[in-house]
């Protein structure tokens, strides 16, 4: 797709230069909107909520046992996506949301810290690990449209010139890293101290009662209440770090999930499958993916089952706590009289986390640094993950999880909610991506996207005509999207998909799946349809060439081989 951003009186490229010319550009953009006569009061507020590592079937609205009434109500009364795709890891998805482009196109195909296995990728355009400075972000365009703009939570697309304060947000409190302790100690996920900034300035110390989900929500509520008398609409980007590892939850929330996961991941997956079928999210003939690297629950020792169940209890407590705080935010919008004029977009940034803690030097520094005794799991001083057994359960019925461009790593819960939209209480199963949300948010702010081959263009499609009822389908025709993460690769084209997944044995090969009958990617059709496979491989190669993708014939993440997948 080619796209420009238009006002009534002028056409502005969606990807204009920033950096030295950023301030003059933003001034010009602002003047253009004033001259065009844009009526701010007619533009809705935009609330973008991004969860961190929530699996496809975790929420109640997607068949999960987790108690998420606020998110369920929004999903079920709004437009619920059942085939929404993010990137396979968090930073690249955020790059897609903020740029409307493939992550490699803006320098965020991966992060340098996770390319230990591929020094030849360091410094290449698609793998610099931070947002290109010459890409104008959605936040900058919306800010220029006359919105009050706020960013709270995980940023993870670059520091310095890519800080939220330099990228169109009037106020911000941001975790710049990919993750951290959810408590006040601010311990990074790879040790060290996590970097937080407030309005672009480094935060020296977090308040002693800091808990990430509560603090981020409180901060955004403060921003909204402080500007309650503003005559401008707002754009708020709330990037929760829940339930990203290390898994932490307040004691009262840990108590709520106690014992729930004692039946184990096999039984939880079976229960989810049954609920998904009842909800109409999964056909009776569709099977689930079963990883040979995950043991049956009954094969574990009593001690292993006890510890594993506790890990998922903490994870679920984090998700339910996040839902509670989203409820507080919705109540604030009601009290401010802004709920009916607020478009809410929600998504998870990728599939669930499948790594384990015993990886590299962690085998030494985890036990020497943290208190992971059973009684302290999820509490301050602990540092745990859910692990791949529960990650596969969270992704039910899909294949694998975060870091892999399989459906379990890419397909995530997502929805759009606004009472004024024609599409309410509906589901959509078309292939939608985070890039589509970028274009949709820009159009909601009053800009109109149109085609032009002379500019570097957003890749997404606006969903607004579909949401308003002006179109029968969300997107035109059969969509094709390519993916690459740590040299694992994939391409979706309509109902068909190809994947190339590295294995510890080094036996990566292209596989072909028909997602209409096999969304869990269990039946490889490569030998049955060699011509279709070859056509899709050529499409993937075209995608790679256009977007600065460089894929090697090995996993390049730097993780231990047994951490990834044994198939």
Q: Which residues pair with 175 in a beta bridge?
A: 154, 196
DSSP class of residue 259 equals T
| Token digits of residue 228 | 């309650």
Q: Which of 184, 239, 200 is nearest to 216 (CA)?
A: 239
**Catalytic annotation, pick one of 85, 90, 248, 417:** 90
**Catalytic annotation, pick one of 102, 156, 244, 461:** 156
| Token digits of residue 213 | 């989900």
| Token digits of residue 510 | 């292209």
Active site residue 286: no
Q: Which of 430, 228, 445 is nearest to 343 (CA)?
A: 445
Q: How far apart are CA 183 and CA 52, in angstroms?
A: 16
Q: How far apart are CA 407 and CA 287, in angstroms?
A: 14
DSSP class of residue 469 equals T
> Phi then psi for 156, rounded to 5 degrees?
65, 25
Q: How far apart are CA 469 and CA 464, in angstroms?
A: 8
Give the Cβ contact number of residue 340 at 10 Å.
Answer: 12
DSSP letters, 1-25, are ---EEE-SS-EE-TT---GGGHHHH
In the chain, the largest separation of any two C-alpha atoms, in whole Å, equals: 70
| Token digits of residue 258 | 């106690």
Q: How far apart are CA 105 and CA 457, in angstroms?
A: 11
Q: How far apart are CA 84 and CA 411, in angstroms?
A: 6
Q: How far is CA 242 from CA 136, 295, 560, 567, in A?
A: 28, 27, 25, 29
DSSP class of residue 173 equals E
Q: Which of 204, 237, 205, 201 is nearest to 219 (CA)?
A: 237
DSSP class of residue 398 equals S
Active site residue 104: no
- Say if CB 497 and CB 410 are below 8 A apart: no
Parallel, antiparallel, or unpaired: how do β-strands 196-198 and 84-85 relate? unpaired
Q: How far apart are CA 341 and CA 387, in angstroms?
A: 40
Q: Which residues pair with 480 in a beta bridge?
A: 493
What residues are annotated to the active site?
Answer: 90, 156
């Amino acid at each position: 797709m080619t796209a420009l951003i238009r006002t009534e009186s002028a056409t502005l490229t969606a990807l204009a230069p920033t950096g030295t010319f950023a301030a003059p550009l933003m001034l010009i953009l602002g003047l253009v909107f004033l001259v065009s006569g844009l009526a701010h009061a007619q533009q809705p507020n935009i609330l973008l909520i991004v969860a961190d590592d929530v699996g496809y079937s975790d929420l109640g609205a997607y068949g999960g046992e987790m108690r998420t009434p606020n998110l369920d109500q929004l999903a079920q009364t709004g437009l619920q996506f059942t085939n929404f795709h993010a990137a396979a890891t968090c930073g690249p998805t955020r790059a897609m949301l903020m740029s409307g482009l493939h992550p490699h196109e803006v320098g965020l195909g991966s992060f340098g810290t996770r390319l230990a296995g591929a020094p030849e990728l360091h410094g290449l355009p698609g793998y610099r690990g931070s947002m290109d400075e010459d890409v104008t972000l959605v936040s900058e365009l919306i800010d220029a449209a006359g919105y009050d703009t706020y960013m709270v939570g995980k940023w993870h697309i670059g520091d310095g010139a890519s800080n939220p304060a330099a990228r169109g947000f009037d106020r911000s409190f941001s975790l710049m890293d990919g993750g951290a302790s959810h408590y006040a100690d601010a311990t990074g996920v790879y040790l060290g101290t996590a970097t937080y900034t407030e309005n672009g300035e480094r935060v020296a110390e977090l308040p002693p009662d800091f808990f990430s989900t509560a603090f981020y929500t409180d901060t955004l509520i403060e921003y909204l209440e402080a500007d309650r008398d503003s005559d401008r609409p707002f754009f708020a980007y709330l990037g929760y770090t829940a339930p990203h590892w290390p898994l932490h939850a307040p004691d009262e929330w840990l108590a709520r999930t106690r014992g729930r996961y004692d039946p184990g991941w096999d039984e939880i997956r079976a229960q989810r499958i049954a609920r998904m079928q009842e909800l109409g999210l999964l056909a009776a003939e569709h099977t689930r993916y079963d990883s040979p690297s995950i043991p049956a629950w009954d094969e574990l020792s009593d001690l292993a089952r006890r510890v594993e169940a506790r890990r998922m209890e903490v994870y679920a407590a984090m998700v339910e706590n996040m839902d509670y705080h989203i409820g507080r935010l919705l109540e604030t919008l009601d009290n401010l009289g802004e709920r009916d004029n607020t478009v809410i977009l929600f998504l998870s940034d990728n599939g669930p986390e499948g790594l384990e803690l015993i990886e590299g030097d962690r085998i030494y520094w985890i036990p020497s640094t943290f208190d992971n005794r059973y009684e302290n799991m999820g509490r301050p001083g602990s540092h745990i993950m859910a692990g791949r057994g529960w990650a596969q359960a969270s992704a039910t019925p899909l294949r694998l999880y975060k870091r892999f461009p399989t459906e379990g790593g890419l397909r995530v819960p997502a929805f759009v909610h606004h009472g004024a939209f024609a599409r309410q209480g509906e589901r959509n199963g078309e292939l939608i991506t985070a890039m589509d949300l970028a274009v949709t948010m820009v159009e909601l702010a009053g800009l109109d996207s149109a085609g032009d081959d002379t500019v570097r263009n957003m890749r997404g499609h606006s969903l607004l005509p579909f949401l308003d009822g002006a179109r029968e389908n969300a997107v035109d025709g059969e969509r094709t999207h390519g993916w690459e993460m740590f040299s694992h690769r994939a391409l979706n084209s309509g109902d068909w998909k190809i994947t190339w997944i590295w294995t510890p044995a080094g036996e990566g090969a292209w596989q072909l799946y028909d997602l209409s009958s096999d969304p869990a990617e269990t039946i490889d059709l490569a030998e049955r349809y060699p011509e279709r496979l070859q056509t899709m491989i050529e499409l993937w190669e075209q995608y790679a060439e256009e977007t600065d993708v460089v894929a090697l014939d090995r996993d390049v993440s730097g993780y231990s081989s047994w951490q990834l997948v044994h198939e």
